[in-house]
Structure 1
Amino acid sequence: MANRLLAHEVSDLCLGKPPLSSIPISATIRHALAALKSSDDTHISVWSCDLDHHSTTHDHCHCVGKICMVDIICYLCKEDNISSPSLALKAPVSVLLSPIPGVVKHVDPSYSLLEAIDLIINGAQNLVVPIKNTTSKRKQLRQPTSLAPTTHAGGREFCWLTQEDVIRFLLSSIGLFSPTAAYSIESLGIIDTKILTINYHSPASKALAAISTSLSDQTSVAVIDDDGVLIGEISPFTLAYCDEMVAAAITTLSAGDLMAYIDCGGPPEDITKVVHARSGRYNRSDKFIMRRAEAIVCQPRSSLVAVMIQAIALRVSYVWVIEEDCTVVGIVKFSGMLKVFQEHLESLID
């Protein structure tokens, strides 16, 4: 059974994954915004394509990054942009791309499961994998205002694998990781105590840098009171389901009021009026459904498998760790979980 798991390649994890939709690096932020609003995914891949000298098709395309609504929101919150969002949206999408190399990485379909885990632990968030194209024709990358599966010579399309995909795959074979999966996250040493926080009463704008960092780290910003008690969170996973009007909320409200604003129950009317007064230049989209700002928590003695199930069920890549008095002590991330599985799998090889 263990040998069978070790024999899996990334192509096995791609089964049933839809072709990756894309925008070209020549697109503007406004084009990216339109693409996100018309997509079922919270992230859009950005591609750079080299034309060959004898063809008008994009034969050599390479994914150079990914963007989501949070990237756009943080960009619009900058002092020079919040007063003139229409002008800011004309900037090239390249200004939103992460400066950290290797966040998006192309891999061959024959990469092993262990190789994929190693890449993720070392910083890759999305593995771009070619998949077999169901059509015989090569497609061009469409105009910046629309989405299209990206293909290259040979008719291949692409999908991408995330940390969640790998964790979900490992969870389906969790019995092979006994007794490790039943150990507490505290005993496994995977509680990260370096966390991002903001006081409940502080201006939400003070969390802007932390929000950007949490997006890069695939974590979140804890909203705490004066005693360190976890009240809630400002999460990129929540903000990714919002629209660009949240930029005005971040620059106007307190951290606590921002949580109320993005809560799925709907923001209080007085808060909404304040944001609308600041955001007359924004057009609200009904496509985005607000997700709850309530934090997902566990305790140090929680088992690894229980925390995995929590995160997978709620579609996040982290879980906050709190004590019995609700003070936050750290966070458990998918990357930390994957290190445990990596060590377990490598022990099977030795």
Structure 2
Amino acid sequence: MAARLLAYEVSDLCLGKPALTSLPISASIHHALNALKSSNDTHISIWNCDHNQSDTTNDDQQLIDECRCVGKICMADIICYLCKDDNISFPSTALKSPVSVLMSHVNVPSVVKHVEPSFSLLEAIDLIIIDGAQNLVVPIKNKTSKRKQLRQYPTIAPTTHDGGREYCWVTQEDVIRFLLSSIVLFSPTAAYSIESLGIITAEILTINYHSPASKAADAISSSLADQTSVAVVDDDGVLIGEISPFTLNHCDEMVAAAITTLSAGDLMAYIDCGGPPEDILQVVETRLKERNLDGMLDYLKSILYHDTNSSSSEDELSSSPTSTGPGRYKRSNSYSARIMRRAEAIFCYPSSSLVAVMIQAITHRLSYVWVIEDDCSLVGIVRFSGMLEVFREHLESMIN
């Protein structure tokens, strides 16, 4: 059975996966924002393609080496970008910037890595553990030549690349989920506590519940790059909740205004329950006025207000289940169109078993789980990468 597990390839993890949603690196942040809101994906793949090839018999073969996925962006990237001092005052201008400005935290070649379908499961785990890969880009299907598609859609990168190939990507979650399906092979290791396995990381990002959420802006960016989160704690270090990029990915860009104006505790309420409460929205508006952030205030109104004299069609009304009446805020459609994670933190204990923590993380679609003591004081965090190190050692023992 162990030999069978080691024989698996990354193509086995791609079964049933949809093709990547993609944009060219020359696209604007505004284009990426629209793509994220209209897609079921939380991330958009960014491609750098050189299609300036002569139309010869070998065109497709030449294009294979000229089109690469160079990164990924998500709603949390855009939110963090808008939180910067220069951008919070002029969000409309900031959104006209190219998506490349969002990719500083993913501009390391190993974060997004191209691999062939025949790449082994063991090699994939090594890329994650050793090289820090977060997404493995894998070709999944051959299509017709993309030359025709590029002529039809010259300004938008198609979802097919490299001579018409379609791609999906394999994430750390995919690998963990796959290993969980064969967890019996890792007995008794999988039943050991995470403390005994030494995979609890004490280096964590935190913010006090009463502190301005703006103090967490840089920490949110760091947690996004590390696929973790920012813990919200009280004065005694007790875990209250979190500000998670995974939750922000299901919000809209207006969270940037909330991060700028609210406390960490109020921000948790803002991003919780599928959309911001109206009273908190009013607080955001008032504080934007006080700080003379007129550009963000105008942008806020353009997104969240509707004209008191306008009438909505039945389709528009049905798409906004929380319509609040004339002159009041509407929740963005991006909330109602997605399944929202709450701002409450998912946690375990040092004595929790590895398999139990795996199930927790996968159930909540997270790449980490917080670790607390019995008194709820925060101990650290367990990440997928740490779990994979344990499985890699076990697989190594199988080989030897």
TM-score by length of 2: 0.83
Q: Does the 8 Å CA contact 2:70/2:109 hold for their aligned counterparts?
A: no
Which residue in 2 is equivalent to 1:331?
Answer: 381
Structure 2 vs 1, CA of residues 196 and 143 (structure 1 numbering), >3 Å: closer, same or farther?
A: farther
- Deviation, structure 1 residue 221: 0.3
Asked if 1:216 corresponds to 2:225, the answer is yes
Instruction: Summarize deviations over 1:28-53 as a string: whole Å, max 9, x none.
Output: 11111111111110000000001243
Q: Does 1:63 align with 2:69?
A: yes
Residues 273 and 294 of structure 1: CA distance in aligned 2, closer, same or farther (over 3 Å) = same
DSSP-derived class of the 2:232 partner: strand
Q: Is 1:313 aligned to residue 363 of structure 2?
A: yes
Q: 2:90 is aligned with what amino acid?
A: S
Aligned: 1:248 with 2:266? no
Deviation digits for residues 146-179 of structure 1 (CA, Å, limit 9, x no counterpart): 67412222x3211100000000000111111000
The aligned counterpart of 1:171 is 180
Q: 1:72 aligns with which of 78, 87, 110?
A: 78
Q: CA deviation at 1:303?
A: 0.4
Is residue 90 from structure 1 mapped to residue 85 from structure 2 by the alignment?
no
Q: Which residue of 2 aligns with 1:161?
A: 170
Candidates 269, 288, 292, aligned match of 2:278? 269
Does structure 1 residue 293 correspond to structure 2 residue 343? yes
SS of 2:146's partner is coil
2:163 matches 1:113:
no
Structure 1: gaps (5+ residues): none
Number of aligned residue pairs: 347
Equivalent residue number for residue 160 of structure 2: 150
Larger Rg: 2
Which 10-residue stretch deviates more, 271-280 or 8-17? 271-280
Q: Which amino acid aligns with 1:207?
A: A
SS at the partner of 1:205?
A: helix
* Offset at residue 101 of structure 1 (A): 3.2
| In 2, Cα distance between equivalents of 1:263 and 1:126 | 28
2:137 is the counterpart of 1:128: yes
1:266, 1:68 → 2: CA distance? 18
CA shift in 2, pair 1:110/1:265, >3 Å: closer
Partner Cα separation in structure 1 for residue 50 and residue 377 of structure 2: 52
Q: What is the aligned partner in structure 1 of residue 6 from structure 2?
A: 6
| Distance in 2 (alpha carbons) for counterparts of 1:197 and 1:335 | 20
2:186, 2:223 → 1: CA distance?
29
Q: CA–CA distance in 1 between the matches of 2:264 and 2:298? A: 22
Equivalent runs, 1:19-38 vs 2, <5 Å? 19-38=19-38
- Whether the 8 Å CA contact 1:204–1:251 is kept in 2: the answer is yes
What SS does the corresponding residue of 1:330 show, helix, strand or coil?
A: strand
Q: Which moved more, 1:267-276 or 1:337-346?
A: 267-276
CA contact (8 A) 1:65 1:103 kept: yes
Aligned residue in 2 for 1:48: 48
Q: Report the equivalent of 2:320.
A: none
Instruction: Determine the C-alpha separation between the residues in 2 that align with 1:166 and 1:231.
Output: 30
**Which letter maps to 1:326?**
C
* Alignment-derived partner of residue 393 in structure 2: 343
In 2, are the aligned partners of 1:318 and 1:331 still within 8 Å (CA)?
A: yes
Give the C-alpha shift of residue 291 in structure 1: 2.6
Q: Which amino acid aligns with 1:117?
A: I
User: Quick check: 1:21–1:150 contact (8 Å CA) kept in 2?
Assistant: no
Q: Distance in 2 between matches of 1:202 and 1:150?
A: 46
Unaligned runs of 5+ in 2: 289-296, 305-331
Alpha-carbon distance in 1 for matches of 2:157, 2:15: 22
In 2, distance between residues paired with 1:266 and 1:137? 43
| CA distance in 1 between partners of 2:111 and 2:47 (Å) | 14
After superposition, give the CA deviation of every residue in 1:267-311 in whole Å (9 maximum; x if it has no partner): 443212122453331314312344310000000000000000000
Instruction: Identify, as 1 or 2, the structure richer in helix.
Output: 2
Describe the SS at the equivalent of 1:170.
Answer: helix
Aligned-partner Cα distance in 1 for 2:284–2:75:
18
Does the residue aligned with 1:124 lie in a helix, a strand or coil?
Answer: coil
1:281 has 2:327 as partner: no
Q: What is the TM-score normalised by the length of structure 1? A: 0.95
2:202: which partner in 1? 193
**Per-residue deviation, 1:265:** 5.8
Shift of 1:63: 0.3
For residue 139 of structure 2, give the secondary structure of its aligned residue in structure 1.
strand
Q: Choose 15-24 or 295-304, whichever is displaced more.
A: 15-24
Asked whether the equivalents of residues 298 and 319 of structure 1 are also in contact (C-alpha less than 8 Å), the reply is yes
- Residue 108 (structure 2) pairs with residue 100 (structure 1): yes
Shift of 1:132: 1.9
The 3 A distance-change label for structure 1 pair 225 and 147 is farther
Structure 1: distance between partners of 2:274 and 2:250: 14
Q: 1:303 to 1:163 in 2, by over 3 A?
A: same
Q: What is residue 237 of structure 1 aligned with on the other side?
A: 246
Write the distance in 1 (CA, Å) between the matches of 2:29 and 2:70.
15
Give the aligned CA root-mean-square deviation in angstroms.
Answer: 1.7
Identify if the C-alpha distance between structure 1 residues 29 and 55 changes in structure 2 by more than 3 Å, giving closer, same or farther. Answer: farther
Provide closer, same or farther for how the CA distance between residues 35 and 267 of structure 1 changes in structure 2, counting only shifts above 3 A: closer
